[in-house]
Amino acid sequence: MPFSPAFHPRLLNALRHYNRNRWLADVGAGVTVGIVAPPLAMAFAIASGLKPEAGLWTAIIAGFLISALGGTNVQIGGPAGAFIVIVYGIVERYGLANLLIATACAGVLLVLLGLFRLGTLVRFVPVSIVIGFTNGIAVLIALSQVKDWLGLSIDRMPGNFFSQIDTLARHLGSFNPYAFGLGTACVAGLFLWPRLTMTGSPMMQVLERHTVRTFARVPAPVVALVTLSLLSWALKFPVETLGTRFGGIPQALPVFALPDFSWDTVRLLVTPTVTIALLGAIESLLCARVADQLATDPHHQKHDPNQELVALGVANLVVPFFGGMPATGTIARTVTNLRAGATSPVAGMVHAVTLAVIVLVAAPLALHIPLAVLAGILLSVAWNMGEWHEFLRLRHFTNHYRLLMLGTFLLTVVFDLTVAVEAGLFMACALFVRRMGEQFRVERLPEPPLPAGDAALPPGPRPVAAWRLRGALFFGAAAKIDPILQAVEAGPPGMDVVLDARDLVVLDTTGLDALAQVLKAVAARGGRLLVQNAPEQPRSLMERSGFAARLAAQGLEDLPV
């Protein structure tokens, strides 16, 4: 794909026909999402093994940059649940400083992917692999929150699945019923809140219409966070809070700092860098596609995947210098933005400003937020993140699809996302090759399909055998030429062979070598080989490789078409 230095953020298009009504709609949507963002950003950071302010300032800085520079109208960027497992593993294995370096390097890689217009390559990842690792990440997110949900006294959770299970089992004796109650109430509230304010619900019938409409606009995570934090503070529940674990959130702007950088370190961080870049690109572009499908605003334009990758890269390059974590497009906040009436990237920028104001003004109040409530929010995120119904639909798909999806899911849970995606893509390629190879067929014809009006083979008493080639003759199907070789070796001396290639859709060099073996076998028996009706791609390869000239050297008149 050609290099294109074109840099055209979607914001420039959106502002051309901007007006007061769209401004008011974007401000309302941005403020709404800005109110939703704090509990999610803090929860993602804490679950990743970082301080809560890392998630908050990532949501602010990356959210602003992704909206201002991106290629979508309504996408909201920031920390995402999909990164929890990845970031936690990197911090545990390489340390926080190296996470910052890997994130910045991933940002550079994403910018290059966008500039070289490689955004469409993300679509080549099979949907079965995406569903598999998404569900696997959801399981790991839920497992990582069991500690705070149950209030267990564990200093630090290990990074792998079986060690986490063992650690949780060994510390069940420290179960805290108050934490469990708060976490369970949070999950129940997040599930029930949207249903309580639905049209026709008992609450709708009790309260006045305008009151309910205003009430229903308050996001469920905010309601759960505020009410349960007040309950815990008022009743003095003995549970761990943000204040007891982290000492609260600094009520100040983040400090710009350069992490220790060396090329030796970068070489060690190739795998984490590629993992962050790959996952960020997949999550962001999938989120943009979802937004395109849900958008009903007449001003909405389909996303530009390459511009979105450039913006995502810039955001991930910048946030590490302020102690942030990897960022990507976030489906939950993007959908909230859409439903709140957003029409342009201005809404995402307002969301970032709103969140910054909340952090700078209300940071001291975060001291009293129970970690069990944040765990409940993440348990809900994990449940909504997973596409669990796809497991039930597996019976309708082929064994290939089942193997890819279940294999990626299990590898994500048991090992890590990098192994899962690498193995998944390898299996996808291997199964694709096998399936395409199965589609190639060699059919014996009763008589040679000679073209009308053309004497392709000289007349005479020589025996003739004919076959038709159907499908793609490539390295995965070359062995299917063997029946022709066997028939030639078993046939009478001097037998001519005709191959009708009108249904040969693709020919690669391995397939061409198989045809060359047929030519060699036919010539060794004193016969001649004719390849008829070859389409453009096979014919071009035959001519460029010299195979057509070898056929013509036999003295036949119609070669190789």
CATH number of the CATH domain containing 450: 3.30.750.24
3-state helix, strand, coil in the chain (%, to 5): 65, 5, 30
Judge if 539 and 413 occupy the same domain: no
- Tokens 């940002």, residue located: 107
Judge if 430 and 451 occupy the same domain: no
- Tokens 């994130």, residue located: 103
Q: Give the end-to-end CA distance of the chain in Å, rounded to a whole number.
A: 32
**Per-residue pLDDT at 421:** 80
Judge if 425 and 360 occupy the same domain: no
**Short-list 441, 408, 437, CA closest to 423:** 408
What H or E segment, with its residue span, contains residue 502?
Answer: strand 496-507
CB 245 within 8 A of CB 371: yes
Judge if 362 and 466 occupy the same domain: no
In single-letter form, the type of residue at position 531 comes to V
How far, in Å, CA of 61 to CA of 316, rounded?
Answer: 10
pLDDT in tens, the chain (561 residues): 444 456 789 999 888 888 989 999 999 999 989 988 999 999 999 999 999 999 999 999 999 999 999 999 999 999 998 899 889 989 988 889 999 999 999 999 999 999 998 888 777 788 888 899 889 999 999 999 999 999 999 888 887 889 999 999 999 999 999 999 999 999 999 888 877 656 555 555 555 455 545 555 677 888 899 999 999 999 999 999 999 988 878 888 898 888 777 777 778 889 899 999 999 999 899 888 888 888 777 777 888 999 999 999 999 999 999 999 999 999 889 988 888 889 999 999 999 999 999 999 988 888 899 999 999 999 998 998 888 999 999 888 888 899 999 999 999 998 877 788 888 888 988 888 988 999 999 999 886 554 433 445 555 567 889 999 999 999 999 999 999 999 999 988 888 899 999 999 999 999 999 999 999 999 999 899 999 889 999 999 999 999 999 988 886 644 443
Residue 212 forms part of a structural domain: no
Domain count, the chain: 3
How far, in Å, CA of 44 to CA of 375, rounded?
Answer: 10
Q: Which letter does DSSP use for residue 219 in this model?
A: -
Residue 244 forms part of a structural domain: yes
Judge if 432 and 451 occupy the same domain: no
Judge if 328 and 401 occupy the same domain: no
How far, in Å, CA of 297 to CA of 219, rounded?
Answer: 22
On the 0-12 / 13-18 / 19+ scale of CB atoms within 10 A, 150 is: buried
Residue 330 forms part of a structural domain: yes
**Short-list 47, 384, 377, CA closest to 183:** 377
How far, in Å, CA of 33 to CA of 355, rounded?
Answer: 9
> Which of 422, 437, 452 is the last residue in one of the domains?
437
Q: pTM of the prediction?
A: 0.81
**Short-list 406, 333, 402, 385, CA closest to 140:** 385
The CA-based diameter of the chain, rounded to the nearest angstrom, is: 105
What are 390's two structure tokens? 């796809």
Three-class HEC string of 39-73? HHHHHHHHHCCCCHHHHHHHHHHHHHHHHHHCCCC
> Which of 415, 437, 459 is the last residue in one of the domains?
437
Q: Which residues contact 513 (CB under 8 A, 6 or more apart)?
A: 478
Strand pairing category for 464-473 and 496-507:
parallel
Residue 205 forms part of a structural domain: no
DSSP 241-289: BHHHHH----SSPPPP-PPP--HHHHHHTHHHHHHHHHHHHHHHHHHHH
Residues shown for the chain: 561
What H or E segment, with its residue span, contains residue 490?
Answer: helix 482-490
Residue 203 forms part of a structural domain: no
How far, in Å, CA of 337 to CA of 294, rounded?
Answer: 11
CB 403 within 8 A of CB 410: no
How far, in Å, CA of 345 to CA of 347, rounded?
Answer: 5
Judge if 368 and 298 occupy the same domain: yes
CB 399 within 8 A of CB 124: no
Judge if 432 and 487 occupy the same domain: no
Neighbouring CB atoms inside 10 A of 169's CB total 8
464-473, strands of its sheet edge to edge: 441-445, 464-473, 496-507, 529-532
Q: What angle do CA 215, 218, 219 make, to 5 degrees?
A: 140
Q: Which residues contact 3 (CB under 8 A, 6 or more apart)?
A: 115, 116, 117
Residue 467 forms part of a structural domain: yes
Judge if 518 and 486 occupy the same domain: yes
Please confirm whether the linkage preceding 52 is cis (ω < 30° from 0).
no
**Per-residue pLDDT at 336:** 87
Judge if 366 and 297 occupy the same domain: yes
Neighbouring CB atoms inside 10 A of 314's CB total 21
Residue 224 belongs to domain spanning: 10-191+220-385
How far, in Å, CA of 2 to CA of 354, rounded?
Answer: 40
Residue 106 forms part of a structural domain: yes
Judge if 417 and 547 occupy the same domain: no
> Which of 352, 385, 418 is the last residue in one of the domains?
385
What are 323's two structure tokens? 């102690």
Judge if 242 and 323 occupy the same domain: yes
How far, in Å, CA of 178 to CA of 42, rounded?
Answer: 21
Q: Which residues contact 39 (CB under 8 A, 6 or more apart)?
A: 221, 222, 224, 225, 369, 374, 377
CB 522 within 8 A of CB 495: yes
DSSP 94-109: H-HHHHHHHHHHHHHH
Question: What number of H helices and E strands is found in the chain?
Answer: 25, 6
Residue 199 forms part of a structural domain: no
